Structure formats: structure tokens, C-alpha cells
Amino acid sequence: MSASSSKIPYLLLALAAIALDQVTKLAVLATFQDFERVNVIPSFFDLTLVYNPGAAFSFLADQGGWQKYFFLGLAAVISLYLWRSIVRNDFARWGKIGAAMIIGGAIGNVIDRLAYGHVVDFLLFYWQDWYYPAFNVADSFICVGAVLLVLDGLTNKKKEPEKAV
């Protein structure tokens, strides 16, 4: 397998993440009214339709619009860096999988910001009076990908060159 063809599975994973994210968001947008909730698992999980102009946990959501461009640029820089790291073999296999997942999730949310001006969220987990902020499939890919990158970093440290004494 050539060096460039060995990167195809990671590109396909990123594209699959984007597709799954966008298909689920389009289904929710076509089915739900704004802020509508449908219980799936009693006292634990609902589907809902909410919007997030910020980042995770609505970080910077109330900043008047500039954050959209900030998050677009940040996603582009991170995605390019991670793709470059995949191409340069900076990660072991699980790290490359994690990087591809982050790229796919980031681009999925970028598509939302460009198309709607905010991110579409619809997965809502809760217990009694505690609610985890609603999120989407792209966010899930980003989180799992980040865990894989951390694990890769902990388990596959590159050897430092020995110093001359």
C-alpha cells in the first residue's frame, strides 16, 4: 500500500462522520419544531431541537456574532493541523483515527455555522433535575476522537534523541 493510499481510511472516516452528523441534523430539522422534546428513555434521554451559536457548553454563545468566525477559523486551523499530522505519521493508528474523528466532527459543525449561523444540537441526557447540555453527532465524534488522541499520546510516545554526554 502506498503512503498516500494508507491515508484513505482516515479521510473516509472523517467523511463518514460529516455525513452521519449532517444526515441526523437534517432529520431532526425536518421533524422537530424549535425546542420541541420527545422522550426516548424515561428520566434519561430525549431528542430535542436547540441551537448553539457558541462552542461546547454554549461557551461564548452570547457574544453577538463574532464568535461564529472565530470558531470557523479555529476549526479550519485544527483540522488542517490534524490532517497534516496524519499525513506525516505523527500519530499511531488510534491517534490517526482520533484525529480523523475530530476533523469530521469539526467540519460537521462548521457546515452548520455556515448554513444556519449556529450549531444544531438534539441529543439531551439528564437525570432528575440535572441536564447535560444538548449536543450532536459531530460533538460525539470530537469527544471520542480527543480521548483517542490523548490515549495515543500516553501510549505511543516517540523516543527522544539521546543527548551526548
Residues with catalytic roles:
121, 139
Give the 3-state secondary structure of residue 147: helix
Give the 3-state secondary structure of residue 119: strand
Q: How far is Cα 154 from Cα 165, in angstroms, rounded to an integer?
A: 28
Q: Of all helices (H) and strands (E), which one includes residue 77?
A: helix 66-87
User: What radius of gyration do the chain's Cα atoms show?
Assistant: 18
Q: Is the dihedral of CA 69, 72, 73, 75 positive or negative?
A: positive
- Are 146 and 71 contacting, i.e. CB atoms less than 8 angstroms apart? no
Side chain identity at 151, as an amino acid letter?
A: L
Residue 81 CB coordination number (10 Å) = 13
- Are 139 and 52 contacting, i.e. CB atoms less than 8 angstroms apart? no
